Amino acid sequence: MLCFYFKKSKSKGKKAESPPEIGNQGTSQNVSATRGAKSANSALSSRSIPELYKEKEPNLRVFSYSELKQATNDFDRLLRIGVGGFGTVYKGTIMPANGQGEPTVVAIKKLNNNGMQGHKEWLAEVHILGVIEHPNLVKLLGYCSVDAATGIQRLLVYEYMPNKSLENHLFDKNLAALPWKTRLQIMLGAAEGLAFLHKGLEVPVIFRDFKAPNVLLDGNFTPKLSDFGLAREGPAADRSHVSTVPVGTYGYAAPEYVETGHLYVKSDIYTFGVVLYEILTGRRTIERNRPASEQKLLEWVKQFPADSRRFYKMMDLRLRNQYSLGAARKVAKLADQCVCKNWKDRPDMPVIVEALRGAILES
């Protein structure tokens, strides 16, 4: 997999210009005591994300490896809460930097030791989440990097999300089915997070890996986008797209990206449409255990147009008909628009936000 790479520079003094070069870390410390103007209303310059990181004073705590090892009981398997392509996530408990006060429950991602590729993903997350903050983006609390004799260790520390992910609640039959309105509210929050990435910054950010597992849920089921290792800056003002080797998850990626490697801001819209269909149907985008005609979600739903009498047959049975049929039809039409083959025909994320708000009011 290919991720974008940011040039590294060592931190000097109080201001954290960039995550440190891979090397042994001492005791934990706060890179800065202030975040500055790091919010959804921040007026960011037109500089690149790495340049913005150098200008800001991100309040990211630098952890020692021993601290995070202790926080996870030596990365105990019983504390695993997620496993992905780049690493494993553990539930952990950390003490305040000054050693005083109550411990905090966190999520600690330990990246695989697979050379520079893992480092690029780690550095991307530090840079992006170090300069942007939004209620629907997961909060990065700190990081750790160690050049040990046994290999490089890279870790990230996030706020803990007790209700796991949208994927868990859609597809885990051991969990109660998500109510219809909750599904819409989760997608609305996710859309607001993507809208901020696309439109709320001087430098647009393409998430590139939007899918149900990357929509985490806090104690109130507020959604927060996670896993920014594959994210990258959008095209410059005089360009329509950026080109790269396609990465991501099969079944979600936009056709223009898969076929040409051309990545547009609206490539995220396509993947959002796929997840809209997942919340409507309760089916994954690819399910190999179903009959051949039903394995690919986007092909299967074509049998049930939003305006047809057959439409209700595609709805998730776990909803037990407890939903607004009119609102469901509108969401399906929105999903259709999102997965248009021509990226120019897809709606902008702010338009999607307003459409989902309307569907919630109708529900």
CA distance 26 to 14: 16
CA distance 63 to 67: 7
- The answer to the question of whether 110 is labelled as a binding residue is yes
Residues recognised as catalytic: 209
Residues 211 and 361: beta-carbon distance below 8 Å: no
Q: How many other C-beta atoms are found inside a 10 Å radius of the C-beta of residue 275?
A: 24
Residues 40 and 196: beta-carbon distance below 8 Å: yes
What tokens does 209 get? 């890996």
User: What are phi and psi for residue 296, nearest 5 degrees?
Assistant: -105, 115
What tokens does 343 get? 């990226």
CA distance 123 to 240: 26
Could you give the angle at the alpha carbon of 223 between the alpha carbons of 218 and 226, nearest 5°?
95
Q: 67-74 long-range CB contacts below 8 Å, 24 or more apart?
A: 67/27, 67/28, 67/94, 67/144, 68/92, 68/94, 68/108, 68/110, 68/144, 68/155, 68/157, 71/106, 71/108, 72/108
285, burial (CB in 10 Å: exposed 0-12, middle 13-18, buried 19+): buried
- Cite the annotated binding site by residue number: 110
Which positions make up the binding site for ATP?
Answer: 110
